[in-house]
A and B are shown apart, each in its own frame.
Chain A
């Protein structure tokens, strides 16, 4: 293992540690058992947090003309602080849960692929055009100058490197470069293999409470074994990391809708926020995901059982679509069943049929008129 690969590994262990501490701080784990069950989320939460902090620090220091880039010391401080403050919030003495056997088997299968990918990526040079023209150039500039240096990030000679793109991925790679102490385009690829590992682990952690473990395991393995994914990831383009964040955000939203679990919503905000900070398209994906989530009917969902839903304002009048029309006014049972659950209302579901269908008695009454 080269010194640069070791440096990237150490940086990412610190990112994982930061993520572990952030899980309790963000409300993604309320006990040690939950922390173990959701440990798969830790690395990607750490990636979003470190990338975002590094990016905004780069912007702030760039404005002030300081070289205070997020390197090994900053990363260590951030990770230690997150761990200390995060783990203190967890109740002591509770026994930690154990991961399921199917989870361990899936972990072994995916781990073998990720390890193989890491060995391949760690010696792969920067070849694909946008990989070095846009992303590696920005990462190198952030690492060299310790912040957003105006002659580069606002210079006319650099307009073609998409200065309008957000900085999460280059900032994350700049952390690696500063930990290395120099530029090594091959070792930088290790970061991408670790993102794949983090994505698979996080997907497992999000979907495991909702899916049968063997089914989820083979699905995750199918994702890990996709040649096009492995190739595209190795190009150092931001598209696959963006897809990871969007996928995790949407899965978290689904978990929130299905289980009524606040942690799902928090995770969705974190990951879709990460998507917004990775590429401009991420904002569109995040907006679409949230709009779709609030439109979904809550029938059969955990949230609807625990908290009867209130329809969107334009649907309160009984319509089942937008724009509301006379013909779509909810007069049929099917129309009332499609009224979505959006945000909680005081519990009014005394009628068990209303509770099981996810509609509040208010919306049912409206539909009946």
Chain B
């Protein structure tokens, strides 16, 4: 008797739940589909950086000059960014994800490349074999001379 009453309660709750949520679930997925399908492949690739938001073109610039076995050091000016991350943390997060298989390091002496974010790489006590600047911004890929 108790089992049947319990089953009846479950059935009522389940039917009410389906009735109440099926339409919303369907609309949620439809909206997700429409917004995703409207994006280009490049926009989807840039989505993590854009969601913060950070300019994704800078990471494209870094990636185009990095080699798969590179160890890169991020030179980012200490600055606030949002309510829960500062700028170096935000840039490092996107870089870790989007610049693989190049690997991020925290010590300059472990790096083969310095990636500058609004910083002049010439201020670091290093010599470089090559440098690639993005336009006229202080965004550089600088390969360290060893």
Contact residues of A with B, CB < 8 Å? Answer: 113, 116-117, 119-129, 132-133, 136-137, 140-141, 144-145, 149, 151-152, 155-158, 160-161, 185-186, 211-212, 215, 218-219, 221-222, 224-227, 230-231, 234
Contact = CB atoms under 8 A, between A and B. Distances in A.
Contacts of B33: 116, 119-120, 123
A124 B48 contact: no
Nearest to A123: B36
26 contacts: A116-B29, A121-B32, A125-B39, A125-B45, A125-B47, A126-B48, A127-B48, A132-B97, A133-B93, A137-B100, A140-B97, A140-B100, A141-B101, A144-B101, A151-B103, A160-B93, A186-B36, A218-B11, A221-B14, A222-B15, A222-B18, A226-B17, A226-B21, A227-B24, A230-B29, A231-B28
Interface in B1-51: 7, 10-11, 13-15, 17-18, 21-22, 24-26, 28-30, 32-33, 36-37, 39, 43-45, 47-48, 51
Contacts of B17: 222, 225-226
A230 B45 CA distance: 22
A125 B30 CA distance: 15
Contacts of A227: 21, 24-25, 28
A157 B100 contact: no
Given A125-B39, A225-B17, A225-B18, A151 B101 contact: no
A157 B10 contact: no
Interface string B93-106: 10011001101111
Given A140-B97, A225-B26, 15 more contacts: A119-B29, A122-B36, A123-B44, A125-B47, A126-B47, A133-B96, A133-B97, A155-B104, A157-B105, A160-B93, A185-B48, A218-B11, A224-B25, A226-B21, A230-B29
B11 A215 contact: yes
Interface string B77-105: 00000000000010011001100110111
Interface of B: 7, 10-11, 13-15, 17-18, 21-22, 24-26, 28-30, 32-33, 36-37, 39, 43-45, 47-48, 51, 71, 89, 92-93, 96-97, 100-101, 103-106
B11 A185 contact: no
A29 B43 CA distance: 47
Contacts, number: 124
Contacts of B36: 120, 122-125, 186
A326 to B, nearest CB: 33
Contacts of B93: 129, 133, 160
A136 B100 CA distance: 11
A226 B37 CA distance: 23
B14 A215 contact: yes
Nearest to B12: A218
A137 B48 CA distance: 11
Contacts of A132: 48, 97
B51 A127 contact: yes
A218 B14 contact: yes
5 smallest CB-CB distances across A and B, nearest first, come from: A123-B36, A125-B47, A125-B44, A120-B33, A120-B32
Contacts of A224: 25
A33 to B, nearest CB: 27
Contacts of A157: 92, 96, 103-106
A3 to B, nearest CB: 12
Contacts of B14: 215, 218-219, 221-222
B71 to A, nearest CB: 7
B51 to A, nearest CB: 5
A113 B32 CA distance: 13
A215 B26 CA distance: 22
Contacts of A122: 36
Given A116-B26, A140-B97, A123 B47 contact: no
B31 to A, nearest CB: 8
Contacts of B7: 211-212, 215
Given A230-B25, A230-B28, A234-B32, A218 B101 contact: no
A225 B32 contact: no
Contacts of A137: 96-97, 100
A149 B100 CA distance: 12
A165 to B, nearest CB: 15
A350 to B, nearest CB: 28
A59 to B, nearest CB: 18
Centre residue among A120, A151, A215 by max chain B CB count within 10 A: A120
Nearest to B16: A222
